[in-house]
């Protein structure tokens, strides 16, 4: 096993007699004077040594004297780290340092044993030029046209992509924006991604669309208004869910939705309840019974349309089917907008006060809507030379990850590994420790990554076995200066197996 005191000698080189160190932790190759930091603020010259400015993060399962897990009520700041034990400590990539220029072994190659199996966790901070952020915004509001540009500080940093059920989707970043445009575009894109990945709030605007403030785990703010509800379903689904509750309280319901607007008595749900057709026709393209497309333009009004007055959706009222006194309800898919009408003697809808029993059904729609949140997924390709810091035979790592022999985590958080070639990963930033991400001025995002591999597989596949360090040695050397946090409820493999 390697000597930990040799760890910092892998990085940097002295230049001249002024104590300047050339940092080789990224392609910028900063020349750092004594007691100063490089352009990324991640590396500094301390006493003639190139050091990482942020401490390495050790993640621990807290255990008592009997070896049982201790449940802590406070924040991770309450944990002193006095009870760190090798079998319940995970060395994360946060603050670990990098492998660049990648012929070097990773900063930490940690040997440990779990359930009788010898394992190796290769720990580093990866520089990702090929990376982006996928943003899921829970709202039925129309934010912008598909493929519309996303702007931040006047620079294009991404685009609107295909909407999903109840959510609008954005794609931010990617190599084209980081390196394929102007220098300012790349820097703004990098900073925007860094803000989002570190769980900060970001102001953006969509070309010919809405202004947004988005933040992981928080409600999106659309045009200055905080969203509250994710729709319960499309107009047709809303009818299917609540038809029974509306029965006997109303004669017709029109659920306004940008994608599929529903009409209760034409819908199969109304048929199954033996509700007579009310003869009220709406504009739009009829799909199937009681389901209409393109009733309005997309917008921020009712059901993600540009409609503010639902009566404008009425096309005709059939006097052979409708009757005076017919009770008509309009609602949106979140229940935030609702209008109750009664047909007069001329079969014209007249706005009326909504009965309490009917109001309760609208409230029930709201109760069934989940809170509107913003989800931030970091996505990157852990490819190329990064793998050389893990093994001398990089394709062996790719294959073992694909075969689920090698487990990948980012800051201890589980990742989704995309099938197919390479190591393309995606992680929920909320599952990662705070301030896990950094950057280099190339520009590129820096993110922690860990590969945990059975030791026999690691050795057989050309791993840097001569650089393996026992986990108890890492604890002994770094616990006093490390950042220590308790694990979340989903600890990284192989510690998951110890529970």
3 state SS of 118:
strand
- Together in a domain, 361 and 383: no
Residue 252 has pLDDT above 70, yes or no: yes
- pLDDT digit string (tens) for 269-285? 999 999 999 999 999 99
Q: Is residue 360 a part of any domain in this protein?
A: yes
Q: Which residues contact 29 (CB under 8 A, 6 or more apart)?
A: 22, 23
**For residue 361, which phi and psi values (nearest 5 degrees)?**
-70, -35
Q: Is residue 150 a part of any domain in this protein?
A: no
pLDDT band with cut points at 50, 70 and 90 for residue 195: very high
pLDDT band with cut points at 50, 70 and 90 for residue 1: very low
- Residue 165 has a pLDDT of 93
Compute the distance between CA of residue 29 and CA of residue 23 in angstroms, rounded to an integer: 5
Host H or E run for residue 184: helix 183-197
Q: Is residue 250 a part of any domain in this protein?
A: yes
Compute the distance between CA of residue 156 and CA of residue 187 in angstroms, rounded to an integer: 11
Of 112, 88, 60, 59, which Cα lies nearest the Cα of 471? 112
- Together in a domain, 328 and 245: yes
- Together in a domain, 385 and 302: no
- Together in a domain, 336 and 388: no
Residue range 372-381: mean pLDDT, rounded: 97
Residue range 241-249: mean pLDDT, rounded: 95
Q: Is residue 249 a part of any domain in this protein?
A: yes
User: pTM score, two decimals?
Assistant: 0.89
- Residue 345 has a pLDDT of 97
C-alpha pair distances (Å), 127 with each of 232, 255, 416: 40, 49, 19
The domain boundary, picked from 339, 367, 395, lies at 367
- Residue 136 has a pLDDT of 98
Number of domains comprising the chain = 2
- Together in a domain, 346 and 386: no
Give the number of residues written for the chain.
Answer: 499
Q: Which residues contact 489 (CB under 8 A, 6 or more apart)?
A: none
Q: Is residue 467 a part of any domain in this protein?
A: yes
- Together in a domain, 352 and 463: no
pLDDT band with cut points at 50, 70 and 90 for residue 52: confident
- pLDDT digit string (tens) for 469-489? 999 999 988 878 888 888 766
Sign of the torsion angle spanned by Cα atoms 112, 118, 124, 130:
negative
Compute the distance between CA of residue 132 and CA of residue 377 in angstroms, rounded to an integer: 8
- Together in a domain, 337 and 400: no
pLDDT band with cut points at 50, 70 and 90 for residue 12: low
Q: Is residue 414 a part of any domain in this protein?
A: yes
Of 267, 236, 268, which Cα lies nearest the Cα of 333? 236
- Together in a domain, 425 and 314: no
Tokens encoding 160: 């609107």
Of 93, 155, 160, which Cα lies nearest the Cα of 411? 93
Of 262, 258, 341, which Cα lies nearest the Cα of 302? 258
Of 345, 256, 250, which Cα lies nearest the Cα of 294? 256
Contact indicator for 295, 273 with CB cutoff of 8 Å = no
The domain boundary, picked from 308, 332, 367, lies at 367
- Together in a domain, 360 and 420: no
Q: Is residue 174 a part of any domain in this protein?
A: no
Tell me the residue range of the domain where 63 lies.
4-129+375-498
- Together in a domain, 448 and 360: no
Residue range 319-328: mean pLDDT, rounded: 97
Nearest 5°: the CA angle 165, 166, 172 is 85
Tokens encoding 207: 């070309």
Mean pLDDT of the chain: 90
- Together in a domain, 406 and 354: no
Q: Is residue 296 a part of any domain in this protein?
A: yes
The domain boundary, picked from 348, 367, 386, lies at 367
- Residue 86 has a pLDDT of 80
- Residue whose pair of structure tokens reads 């108890």 in the numeric block: 472
pLDDT band with cut points at 50, 70 and 90 for residue 256: very high
- Residue 489 has a pLDDT of 63
- Together in a domain, 300 and 354: yes
């Amino acid at each position: 096993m390697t000597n930990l005191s040799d760890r910092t000698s892998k990085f940097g080189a002295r230049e001249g007699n002024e104590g300047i160190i050339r940092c080789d932790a990224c392609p910028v190759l900063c020349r750092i004077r004594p007691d100063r930091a490089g352009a990324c603020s991640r590396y500094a010259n301390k006493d003639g040594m190139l050091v990482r400015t942020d401490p390495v993060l050790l993640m621990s399962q807290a255990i008592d004297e009997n070896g049982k897990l201790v449940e802590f009520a406070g924040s991770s700041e309450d944990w002193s780290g006095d009870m760190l034990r090798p079998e319940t400590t995970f060395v994360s990539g946060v603050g670990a340092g990098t492998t660049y220029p990648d012929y070097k072994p990773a900063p930490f190659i940690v040997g440990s044993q779990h359930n009788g199996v010898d394992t190796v966790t290769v720990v580093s901070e990866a520089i990702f030029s090929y990376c982006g952020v996928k943003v899921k915004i829970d709202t039925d509001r129309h934010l912008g046209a598909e493929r519309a540009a996303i702007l931040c500080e006047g620079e294009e940093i991404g685009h609107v992509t295909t909407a999903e059920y109840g959510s609008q989707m954005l794609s931010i970043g990617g190599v084209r924006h980081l390196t394929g445009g102007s220098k300012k575009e790349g820097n703004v894109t990098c900073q925007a991604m860094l803000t989002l990945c570190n769980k900060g709030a970001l102001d953006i605007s969509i070309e010919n669309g809405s202004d947004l403030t988005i933040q992981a785990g928080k409600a999106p703010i659309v045009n200055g208004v905080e969203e509250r509800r994710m729709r319960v379903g499309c107009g047709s689904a809303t009818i299917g869910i609540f038809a029974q509750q509306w029965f006997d309280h109303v004669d017709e319901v029109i659920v306004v939705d940008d994608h599929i607007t529903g009409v209760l008595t034409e819908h199969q749900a109304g048929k199954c309840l033996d509700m007579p057709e009310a003869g009220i026709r709406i504009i739009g393209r009829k799909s199937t019974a009681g389901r209409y497309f393109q009733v309005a333009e997309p917008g921020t009004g009712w059901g993600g349309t540009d409609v503010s007055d639902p009566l404008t959706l009425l096309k005709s009222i059939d006097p052979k089917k409708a009757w005076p006194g017919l009770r008509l309800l309009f609602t949106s898919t979140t229940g935030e907008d609702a209008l109750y009408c009664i047909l007069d003697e001329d079969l014209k809808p007249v706005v009326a006060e909504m009965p309490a029993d009917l109001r309760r059904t609208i409230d029930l729609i709201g109760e069934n809507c989940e809170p509107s949140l913003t989800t931030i997924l970091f996505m990157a390709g852990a490819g190329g030379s990064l793998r050389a810091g893990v093994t001398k035979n990089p394709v062996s790592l790719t294959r073992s990850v694909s075969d689920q022999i090698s487990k990948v985590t980012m800051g201890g958080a589980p990742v989704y590994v995309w099938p197919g070639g390479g190591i393309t990963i995606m992680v929920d930033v909320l599952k990662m420790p705070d301030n896990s991400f950094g950057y280099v001025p190339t520009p590129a995002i820096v993110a922690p990554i860990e590969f945990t591999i059975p030791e026999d597989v690691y050795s057989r596949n050309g791993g840097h076995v001569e650089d393996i360090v026992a986990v108890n040695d890492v604890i002994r050397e770094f616990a006093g200066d490390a950042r220590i946090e308790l694990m979340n409820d989903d600890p990284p493999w192989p510690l998951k197996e110890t529970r």
